[in-house]
Structure 1
Amino acid sequence: MAGISSGPVVAGRRSRRRVTTGCLLLLMVPAALLAYFWYAAWHADRVNERREEAAAASVLAQARRASDGTVRALSASRSTAPDALVGVIRRHTHAPVIAYDPEHGTYTATAAFSSDHDEKGVLLGAGPVRTERCFTLTFARKAPATTWTAKRAERDDSACRSGRLIDFDVTLARKRLANMTGQVTPAEAARVLDPAHRKRPYSVTKVGRSGDADVITVLVRESVGGAAVQQCYAFTRGRGTDAAPVTAVPVATC
């Protein structure tokens, strides 16, 4: 009789153990998922941090190569004309703004350098991210020799904002000047650059000739956060129906 009466008790205990085991399993699943997501988030942060560091190092390397390449090109150049030297700096730095200081004989290019990388997400890829830094590259001739030196300085991004606007203005001006018809005069160039009289940031300073092309010199101004920046550009526009697109290069003075 004792063995028979113990049957329901044993069965109840087994049932309770199964319930307990099931509850533990149910509790372990969210705990495991939580641990997995914590690790995945930690790992993604570490990967993104390494990628950001690599991107920042790439940006610094770009600025260094640009300044070093410009120094070599300036030292190899035999020209002493400020406009020609500004052109050399432009070709190697792609800076939209290059300030010339005639008193000290220095040229300062303000340019942004960037590097793209993919950001890692926990579940899905977070997509591309751009790391960008603003630099001033100041070039000076080492007297009395013909070699040049460069000084790099990282700046706040605000130093490059006006330059980005000037770059946009120059691109727009190229398109508008390419569509000019008739005689090229300062008044006509000014009208084409500001057809709606909205006081666009263009001041046409002179119009000249260079071979079979018209050269229109324009002072481009922009202001961001109260800081005004200006740069002279020479726009070259070929004559004839098969003329090449309008080119634009920064020059030292207008």
Structure 2
Amino acid sequence: MKAMILAAGKGERMRPLTLHTPKPLVQAGGKRLIEYHLEALAKAGFSDIVINHAWLGQQIERYLGDGAQFGLRIRYSPEGEPLETGGGIFKALALLGDEPFLVVNGDIWTDYDFAPLKRPLQGLAHLVMVDNPAHHPSGGDFYIQGGVVHDAVAGADNLTFSGISVLHPKLFEGCSAGAFKLAPLLRAAMSKGQVTGEHMDGRWIDVGTLERLAQVETLLTAEQ
């Protein structure tokens, strides 16, 4: 199974750090954020990685190179302009192939073990969910019932999408090149019972702000 790291975000809420550094190369605990993903993917047995980028993306390519330093083979999907999550994945499908692939947001930190996601995919997508974090306390994104994911509804045990998933290329059938979101595709597949999910047992932080980056730094420093 191949894996894709989404690294095209501009990181505007993390300025001034991201004025001259792409968000995936911001440091926490003495490492670049994206390095934690690459090390975890290599440990889980992944070898072929695709990384999309836009804002200051050449810095990512120069820093990571072909991935040999991580025991990986990295290929890049540069975007002249941000294509959002759905459009970015769609553009990279030629590199990802015809089989299901793992996708992970480049701006999260987690100790989640990616290895179990290599099992056969049932349906069009499998989503890893987390408890609703402090910055997303109510509502949630989706809920899981009997291993199947449904769109959030009032009164359900709604959870937040972690940014970790396994997707089948067929999820993107009928799509056209350009910027578009992933969520509508997932909701369409959910309406047909084609999305499975799990509730993560592990640590997870959405590193979208300087405050949350500080949380990661504090957590990692305490473990050193």
TM over 0.5: no
| TM-score scaled by length of structure 1 | 0.25
Greater RCO, 1 or 2 (C-alpha within 8 Å, sep 6+): 2
Q: Which has the higher helix share?
A: 1
Q: Which has the higher strand share?
A: 1
